[in-house]
Structure 1
Amino acid sequence: MKAVRIHAFGGPEVLQIEDVARPVPAPDEILVKVYASGVNPVDWVIREGANEMMRSFLTLPLTLGWDAAGTVAEVGSAVTDWQPGDAVYGLPNFPGNGSYAEYCAAKASQFARKPQGLSFNEAAGVPLAGLTAWTGLFAHGKLQAGQRVLIQGASGGVGSFAVQFAKAKGAYVIGLASAGNLAYLKELGADEALDYRSQPFEDVVRDVDVVLEASPQRDNVERLKSVAVLKPGGIFVSVNVDAPFDETVLAALAQKQATGELAPNQPRHDWLAEIAQLIDAGQVKVFVSQVFPLAQVADAHRESQTWHVRGKLILEITKDDAPA
């Protein structure tokens, strides 16, 4: 099978399309014929080898990609919930070989049925970003109906799902983005959309229950502004798990009797299934910015690294109309 692998850390030029052996699923795994993979910042962070926390888990060569949509090709001996031919979406194993490949093996518990209303390309844009948003908002942020949430980086892959999830659950949503994306945030359902460049949110936002840092910023000085807009007892959640809160942020949180949470992604079947229900009910939409064929994987990484992507980038492995 074809797979995009790296043999060394570096720029987009280290991405190589190779012929490799098809994986064999373990007893608790499924083998997925991959139609499409999402392209996420974590993919090129790992490609560069720049993240020391992740680097210790990685063994070269490896196949990138942590978003997959496709059909079940085989099931492990202990798997009872899936049958060959089922259309699924979810996350490959991490660390392990990823979804920039014609096949990937993964824990059966990390996949759910593909939303019926989405193409494979659209579905591939959901799992990693969607689960990151879900984990941050609900597992760590404990967001409930009627609460106020401020979402930083609201127009990006994680943020755009977070806006829609929070709104679907009955929260009041304030989104931060650049001026050119404010109309997009309104389209997503944000109650307020603020330009982070010209409208300092710390001057106009007050008394929010949850702040979700879904932007790539890893600046503890900026984080103090987020703490300032929290209600006493509020929760500040960051998806940037490689950037812990420093002593000044922790002190500011303690003064407000607020909580700071780092929210690692949790690849859970039940959350993927609930997200699929929201999508099929029309409460959540998937916005695909651009689709790249496998041969243009380096271009997909370059586009992701601009940090100006609205919605999701997709790597198409197999055409939707191709036989499974």
Structure 2
Amino acid sequence: MQAVQAAAFGAPSVLGVTEVAAPEPGPGRMTIDVTHAAVGLVDVFLRQGLYKDRPGMPQAPFVPGLEVAGTVRELGEGVTGFTVGERVVSMSAAIGTGGYASVYLTDPALVVSLDGFDVDSALAVSVLPNAAMAHVALTRVAHLAKGESVLVHGALGGFSAAFPGIATQLGASRVVGTVRAGRLEEAGRSRLPYDRIVDSAAMTEALAGETFDIVIDPVGGDVRTRSLDLMGPGSRLLVGGNAGGDWDHAFPSNDLWQRSVTVSGFNSAAYLPSHPDAIRPALEAARTALTAGLGEMEIEVLPFSEAATAHERMENRSLTGRIVLVPDTPA
């Protein structure tokens, strides 16, 4: 089968298409014939070797990719609820690999059917897994209540972009996003259900007088600290990444008790394996939100052979919406 392999840790140029053996599903597992594989920031971090010294992380050479859409190829012993040929999307409950390939091995608990739903597979793989994670984050960690307001940093990023649709579905009264100044024009064209998107560098001034019950922050750094000025007593800050790359940032913990606010971390790779009961309702809620048009975004499709280009654009932030990869057409 075709697979995009990271031959070593390093620059995007380490990615190349190769032929490897297709995986076979053992008991309790299934394989998917991949039509679309989502490209995420975590794929970039893994390829760069950022996590290579952490236990359980992939070592080069490896095939990146956590989320795929396609059709059921084969069901392992004991697997029920799916049929061969059925359209599906699979998410990853851990930092795994293998998605940039024409066949993907997965756990059926992480798979949701698209059969009977009028949803494009490229859009589904770009939105649905992140929307499921957003559902878990909002319901299980941030405890969003109907009528509460939500602020989302990095509003157009793959993870953040899932929050306005799920928050709206859960009854949020207002969902506001922040982006870098260079993405404001793109934000103006966005079809995501934000009430407003503002410049993150000027958010305190732009949103003066407003406070939010929940703040979603996958960006980090100064954006995280300044979020405190937009939170009132009882507000919750959910830390879900470090896309800004400031790994040395220190957070003023004394502000938490003085302001009476809460900060929680959310990492699906850590949370979902220990809370498997959250996965199925989250996937189904995400599918409902997507079919209701709450996750519309721009998608660019590239062949496996242009995986390095996709990663370059992820690194230099020169993309609009999300990128998905598809197997190369045989010559």
Report if the CA contact (8 A) 1:49-1:55 is conserved: no
User: 1:4 Cα shift?
Assistant: 0.8
Q: TM-score when scaled to structure 2?
A: 0.86
Name the structure 1 match of 2:176. Answer: 174
CA distance in 2, matches of 1:203, 1:279: 29
User: 1:67 Cα shift?
Assistant: 1.1
Task: Name the SS for the 1:124 alignment partner.
Answer: helix
User: 1:181 Cα shift?
Assistant: 3.2
- What amino acid is the match of 2:258? Q
Task: Name the SS for the 1:32 alignment partner.
Answer: strand
Task: Name the SS for the 1:125 alignment partner.
Answer: helix
User: 1:61 Cα shift?
Assistant: 2.2
Residue among 254, 258, 263 paired with 2:257: 254
Report if the CA contact (8 A) 1:151-1:175 is conserved: yes
Q: Alpha carbons of 1:42 and 1:122: their partners in 2 closer, same or farther (altered >3 Å)?
A: same
User: 1:99 Cα shift?
Assistant: 0.9
Does 2:235 align with 1:225?
A: no
Report if the CA contact (8 A) 1:291-1:316 is conserved: yes
Q: Which runs of no fewer than 5 residues in structure 2 stay unpaired?
A: 274-278
Report if the CA contact (8 A) 1:288-1:314 is conserved: no
Aligned pairs, number: 315
Residue among 263, 269, 276 paired with 2:280: 269
Does 2:237 align with 1:236?
A: yes
- What amino acid is the match of 2:87? A
> After alignment, is 22-31 or 199-208 more displaced?
199-208
User: 1:197 Cα shift?
Assistant: 3.4
Taking only aligned residues, the RMSD between alpha carbons, in angstroms, comes to: 2.6
User: 1:318 Cα shift?
Assistant: 6.9
Report Cα offsets for 1:205-256 as digits up to 9, x if no partner.
5321100013xx331x432211221121211001117989976432212222
CA distance in 2, matches of 1:11, 1:195: 30
Report Cα offsets for 1:10-63 as digits up to 9, x if no partner.
111111211111111121111111100011111111001023575752233211
Name the structure 2 match of 1:294. Answer: 304
User: 1:202 Cα shift?
Assistant: 7.6
Name the structure 2 match of 1:39. Answer: 39
Q: Which runs of no fewer than 5 residues in structure 1 stay unpaired?
A: none
Name the structure 1 match of 2:188. Answer: 183
Name the structure 1 match of 2:321. Answer: 311
Q: Alpha carbons of 1:44 and 1:247: their partners in 2 closer, same or farther (altered >3 Å)?
A: closer
CA distance in 1, matches of 2:290, 2:60: 37
Name the structure 2 match of 1:192. Answer: 196
CA distance in 2, matches of 1:228, 1:244: 22
Report Cα offsets for 1:283-310 as digits up to 9, x if no partner.
x233233110111111111111122433
CA distance in 2, matches of 1:308, 1:205: 33
Report if the CA contact (8 A) 1:34-1:318 is conserved: no
What is the correspondence of 1:11-90 to structure 2 with a 5 Å cutoff?
11-51=11-51, 56-90=56-90
User: 1:170 Cα shift?
Assistant: 2.2
Report if the CA contact (8 A) 1:2-1:18 is conserved: yes
- What amino acid is the match of 1:120? S
Name the structure 2 match of 1:140. Answer: 141
Q: TM-score when scaled to structure 1?
A: 0.88
User: 1:9 Cα shift?
Assistant: 0.3
CA distance in 2, matches of 1:58, 1:24: 20
- What amino acid is the match of 2:301? V
User: 1:140 Cα shift?
Assistant: 1.5
CA distance in 2, matches of 1:124, 1:99: 11
User: 1:184 Cα shift?
Assistant: 3.4
Name the structure 2 match of 1:124. Answer: 125
| Aligned-residue identity in percent | 24
Report if the CA contact (8 A) 1:244-1:262 is conserved: no
